[in-house]
Amino acid sequence: MYNDTRPDPVEGLAQFLRSHRERVSPADAGLPSVGRRRVPGLRRDEVAALAGISLSYYSRLEQGREVSPSLRVLEAMARVLRLGEVDKRELFRLARPAARRRTTSPSRVERVRPHLRQLIESWTRTPAFIIGHAQDLLATNALADALYRDFAQHDNVLRMLFLDPAAKTFYRNAERAKHRAVADLQQTAADTPEDPRVLQLVGELSVHSGEFRSLWAREYSRLPPYDIKQMYHSGVGELELRHEALSIRSAPGQQLIILQAEPSSASADCLALLSAISAPDVPRQQNPTQGA
């Protein structure tokens, strides 16, 4: 009688992930190796963060409680575990992803509608910008550019918070801002687990920021609230601005961010000063009678 001795695919996938995780050193994954580690290779939370998935989801995979992860998740795990072609084919065979091919999502190209650009550009006393589903800055007005001028790049909220040294002095409560940004990204990752931009961003931040890896490993049952943001701008000093995030119904995933100062407050005066000093110089028209 024929006896199929191959391991159960679910348990086989779990064993495969555990064994290959133990073979990858932190240095191989681009992570700093600090002190002695209790487990060989990478920890579960490190693999999850580098692959751009939640710790709970990755844990279910290793425990045999989750089967058939998406193709994009498999590609991300193959990259993190540094699999060769043979091992990669085995990972795909064990995960049996064929039934889920139709669920993969293409890359999202996000554009801001012209009328929304015109709207925020017309606000000269209020910093405003539009972010995408992965918190990429898609459009900013002149005052927002001036407000964040201490940052090397104005490209993504999370990259600015975790990778730019300017965040340490700019935000008076950087920890709250980071918790909120990570919680928002976790929600996006849960809604679109195969999104390539989210996977790429989480992987990049996980390699370069231990603080991000730690926060990403947490499970947020509630989102930290938006509230007053306390900032320090090198040009105008201390600012207290109310943070409002408005979903744009015509562009799902995009949000309009508005930073408002209380009327007649010191922060309003600072914004007015910042607007004045950052306004482009307008050359005076020469008197046609001069120099004649």
Pairwise CA distance, residues 161 & 156, whole Å? 9
Domain 114-278: which CATH class? alpha beta
- Phi, psi (deg, nearest 5) at residue 188: -65, -45
**Which class is domain 9-103?**
mainly alpha
pLDDT of residue 2: 37
pLDDT surpassing 50 at residue 288: no
User: What residues does 137 pair with on adjacent strands?
Assistant: 131
Domain boundaries, the chain: 9-103, 114-278
User: For helices 9-21 and 44-51, what crossing angle results, to 10°?
Assistant: 100
Tell me which of 136 and 5 has the higher pLDDT: 136
Q: Residue 7 gets which letter from DSSP?
A: P
Tokens describing residue 87:
């091992």
SS3 115: helix
- For residue 105, the one-letter residue type is S
pLDDT score, position 99? 43
Q: What per-residue confidence (pLDDT) applies to 126?
A: 95
Report if pTM > 0.85.
no
Tell me what pLDDT residue 159 has. Answer: 96
pLDDT greater than 90 at residue 100: no
Contacts of 114 (CB under 8 A, 6+ apart): none
Identical fold for domains 9-103 and 114-278, yes or no, is: no
- pLDDT of 15-62, one tens digit each? 899 999 999 988 888 887 666 777 778 888 889 888 888 888 888 888
Judge whether 42 and 64 are in contact, CB under 8 Å. no
* Cα of 146 vs its chain's centroid, Å: 22
* pLDDT bracket for residue 281 (50, 70, 90): low
pLDDT at 76 over 80: yes
The Cα 98–Cα 1 span in angstroms is: 30
204-239 pLDDT, tens digit per residue, is 898 889 899 888 877 776 666 667 889 999 999 999
Say whether 17 sits in a helix, a strand or coil: helix
Q: For residue 8, what pLDDT band results from cuts at 50, 70 and 90?
A: low
Distances (CA, A) of 126 to 113, 139, 194, 247: 20, 14, 36, 18
Q: Taking 60 as the threshold, does the pLDDT of residue 9 lie above it?
A: no
Between 147 and 3, residue with greater pLDDT: 147
- Tokens 């799902």 -> residue: 252
**pLDDT score, position 167:** 94
Query: Residue holding tokens 């910008």?
Result: 129
